[in-house]
Amino acid sequence: MHVFLDESGTFAKGDDHYFLVGAFTVGDIKRTAKEWRRWQQEKFPRALRNLPEVKFSNPVVDEGLRLKTLKFIADLDTRIVYTYLFKKNIPPDFRKKQKITKTGLLYGQIVGDTLTLLTPSADSEFRVYRDPRTLKGITREEFNEILETRITPFLPKQALFRVETPDSSTNPNMQIIDWICGALARYYNKKELGDEFYKILGNNILKQKELFSK
């Protein structure tokens, strides 16, 4: 299994009240990568066609194209899972004087909770590709160990578990998950077209879970 994972939002105070981590799997990752590049070349404005990366938030992309692109992503048979949380509900264990300080450990817990939505798995390998987010308070190796401890009990005994941090500008599948997370974040933060975005992706969502709910 190949899992592409990203987040939308930050833990800091701001206009967005929700933080979200999403992931998707698909049967043929080479096909989705090729189709994304084809879509970029054929459907995006000329100024974006040859860019190495086009994010969901790119201001050149209008809302009509966002809707069409999300429909395209849904038609790729992407299988989506995600977790979300209301930032004010983050436990005090991760705070110091109301400021969230243990962001690396918090992110590790959220990502672990997200990946467990794809378990148990009978696959012989479980590869996670995540955005190279800064992990304050823990090393990359410690972060990977947290995930391995969470996930390997739900895999076959000899299964391979790996976490990689590819450059999203050279990995179209990482760009696809950026679009998925951006659309879902619009929905939870009650922003423009959020409901429409969610409806488009709805049939592709396998599981979702709210964290730290009260």
Helix (H, G, I), strand (E, B) or coil at 137: coil
Q: pLDDT above 90 covers what percent of the chain?
A: 87
pLDDT tens string 48-74: 999 999 999 999 999 999 999 999 999
Domain that holds residue 14: 2-210
CATH of the domain at 203: 3.30.420.10
Query: How high is the pLDDT of residue 44?
Result: 97
- Contact (Cβ atoms closer than 8 angstroms) between residue 176 and residue 73: yes
For residue range 156-199, what is the model confidence (pLDDT) as tens digits?
Answer: 999 999 999 999 999 999 999 999 999 999 999 999 999 999 99
Taking residues 61-88, what's their average pLDDT?
97
Per-residue pLDDT band for 83 (boundaries 50, 70, 90) equals very high
Confidence check: pLDDT of 15 > 90: no
Residue 144 near residue 163, CB atoms below 8 Å: yes
Helix orientation angle between 140-151 and 103-116, rounded to the nearest 10 degrees: 30
What pLDDT, on the 0 to 100 scale, is given for residue 12?
Answer: 81
The arithmetic mean of pLDDT across residues 124-135, rounded, is 92
Considering the entire predicted model, what is its pTM?
Answer: 0.96
Please state the separation of Cα 182 from the chain's center in Å.
Answer: 9
DSSP states along 4-55: EEEEES-SSSSS--EEEEEEEE-S-HHHHHHHHHHHHHHHS-GGGTT-S---
Split into its structural domains, the chain has a count of 1
pLDDT value of residue 177: 98
Model confidence band, residue 11 (pLDDT cutoffs 50, 70, 90): confident
> 166 with 177: CB under 8 angstroms?
no
Question: Whole-number mean pLDDT of the chain?
Answer: 95
